């Protein structure tokens, strides 16, 4: 019964505009929803209950004030690499979403039932419509079509392509099955849709390696001056080849005439609740997700302007305990409700990935504060 009421609350929540509500109003909603999500996963996921028992998070309180919900300790995303954390029965799992991961790492596995998948797709559609509008566009995907052939398990790349494909009226995969840029195919696609606005989508490292580099080496320049590029996912296995945002933009303008470029921040463990970059190059937390930075030394919440490890929250995760997560990324909160772009809520910038030593140090602080090892 409580599960169906919770789902109804989330459905009503998803009817809201993602960037209109001011932060103090959003805090009230999260202070009511997050404890309910916590209790839901305690009752449905044995592994989550064991983890919370270990860390001392078995509160049965029905409400938390704003300070309490912000102090509520998150689940490290690394646990999704070790365990299949599911809050639904096995036969209710619609897809297993696997993170792309970095070289040598074990991917996270995230079980989605149909309801959670629909929640996440709705959130993504609402967020992106506020940036792109509701009109569908010809879509150039910087990937190969075989990435979508998975049955029971999707990669984060495949999930990203499928999620953003709702904005594509005609789709063209720019890479062949050998992950080479099919220049003739792309040029034919651009000629067919000449004069129309085009949506270009892909993962950051693929765009740089497979689009920019191959065009640069071949001495070819495409005309994507009327296109919008949405990219995300960072550099993953190519972190040693990572370039600055300024160099990334300059390279794509040089080879593709691309000027309209927006990055987004997201993860397999919280698909749908993405953080999109606005016209002022700030990442925004929509109504459907929340963000805060934790101090690496004492795990306190960082004020505006102070770098910390990123904690993310969302009320959309029903089939798995992804409602309150500690990432392995660092960032700086830039402001609240006052971005020059006009969108309400928190906005921030990314500053990099945590190093292994920092991850261990953060875990030590977490352990100290929750009395791990005490009976």
The CATH number covering residue 32 comes to 2.30.38.10
Both 125 and 207 in one domain: the answer is yes
Report pLDDT for 363. 44
Report pLDDT for 138. 97
* Domain assignment of residue 109, yes or no: no
* Domain assignment of residue 100, yes or no: no
Both 78 and 201 in one domain: the answer is no
CATH code at position 170: 3.40.50
Report pLDDT for 235. 79
Both 44 and 140 in one domain: the answer is no
Report pLDDT for 150. 62
* Domain assignment of residue 90, yes or no: no
Domain that holds residue 141: 120-265
Both 140 and 221 in one domain: the answer is yes
Both 25 and 53 in one domain: the answer is yes
pTM score: 0.89
Both 147 and 50 in one domain: the answer is no
Both 127 and 180 in one domain: the answer is yes
Report pLDDT for 153. 63
Looking at 265, 283, 301, the residue that finishes a domain is: 265
Report pLDDT for 156. 79
User: How many domains does the chain fold into?
Assistant: 2
Looking at 227, 247, 265, the residue that finishes a domain is: 265
Both 150 and 225 in one domain: the answer is yes
Three-class SS of the chain: CHHHHHHHHHHHHCCCCCCCCCHHHHHHHHHHHHHHHHHHHHHHCHHHHHHHHHHCCCCCCCCCCHHHHHHCCCEECCHHHHCCCCCCCHHHCCEEEECCCCCCCCCCEEEECHHHHHHHHHHHHHHHHHHHCCCCEEEEECCCHHHHCCCCEEEHHHHHHHHHHHHEEEEEECECCCCCECHHHHHHHHHHCCCCCEEEEEEHHHHHHHHHHHHHHHCCCCCCCCEEEEEECCCHHHHHHCCCHHHHHHHHHHHHCCCEEEEEECCHHHCCCCEEECCCCCEECCCCCEEEEECCCCCCECCCCCEEEEEEECCCCCCCCCCEEEEEEEEEEEEECCCCCCCCCEEEEEEEECCHHHHHHHHHHHHHHHCCCCC
Per-residue pLDDT in tens (0 to 9) along the chain, 375 residues: 678 899 999 999 999 999 999 999 999 999 989 989 998 999 999 999 998 888 766 655 544 544 566 667 789 999 999 999 999 999 999 889 888 655 456 888 999 999 999 999 999 999 999 999 999 999 999 999 988 876 556 677 888 898 899 899 999 999 999 999 999 999 999 999 999 999 999 999 999 999 999 999 999 999 999 999 999 988 766 777 888 899 999 999 999 999 999 999 998 888 778 999 999 999 999 999 999 999 989 889 999 999 999 999 999 999 999 999 999 999 999 999 999 999 999 999 999 988 764 454 444 444 443 333 333
Looking at 210, 240, 265, the residue that finishes a domain is: 265
């Amino acid at each position: 019964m409580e599960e169906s009421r919770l789902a109804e609350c989330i459905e009503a929540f998803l009817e809201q505009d993602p960037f209109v509500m001011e932060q103090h109003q959003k805090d009230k909603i999260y202070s009511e929803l997050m404890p309910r999500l916590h209790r839901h996963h305690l009752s449905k996921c044995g592994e989550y209950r064991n983890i919370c028992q270990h860390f001392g998070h078995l509160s049965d309180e029905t409400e938390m004030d704003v300070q309490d919900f912000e102090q509520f300790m998150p689940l490290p995303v690394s646990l999704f690499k070790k365990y299949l954390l599911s809050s639904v029965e096995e036969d209710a799992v619609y897809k297993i979403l696997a993170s792309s991961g970095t070289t040598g790492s074990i991917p996270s596995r995230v079980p989605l039932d149909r309801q959670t998948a629909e929640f996440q797709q709705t959130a993504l559609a609402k967020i992106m419509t506020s940036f792109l509008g509701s009109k569908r566009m010809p879509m150039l995907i910087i990937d190969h079509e075989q990435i979508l052939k998975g049955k029971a398990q999707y990669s984060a790349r495949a999930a990203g392509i499928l999620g953003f494909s709702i904005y594509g009226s005609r789709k063209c995969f720019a890479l062949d099955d050998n992950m080479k840029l099919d220049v003739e195919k792309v040029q034919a696609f651009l000629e067919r849709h000449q004069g129309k606005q085009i949506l270009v989508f892909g993962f950051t490292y693929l765009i740089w390696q497979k689009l920019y580099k191959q065009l640069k080496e071949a001495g070819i320049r495409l005309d994507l001056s009327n296109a919008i590029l949405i990219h995300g996912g960072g550099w993953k296995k190519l972190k040693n080849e990572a370039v600055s945002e300024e160099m990334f933009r300059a390279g794509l303008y040089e080879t593709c005439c691309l000027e309209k470029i927006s990055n987004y921040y997201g993860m397999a463990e919280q698909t749908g609740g993405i953080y999109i970059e606005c016209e002022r190059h700030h990442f925004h937390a929509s109504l459907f997700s929340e963000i805060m930075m934790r101090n690496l030394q004492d795990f306190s919440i960082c004020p505006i302007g102070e770098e910390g490890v990123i904690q993310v929250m969302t009320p959309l995760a029903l089939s798995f305990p992804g409602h309150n997560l500690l990432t392995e990324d660092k960032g700086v909160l830039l402001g609240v409700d006052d971005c020059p772009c006009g969108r309400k809520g928190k906005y921030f910038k990314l500053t990099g990935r945590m190093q292994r030593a920092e991850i261990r140090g953060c875990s030590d602080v977490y352990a100290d504060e929750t009395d791990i090892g005490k009976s």
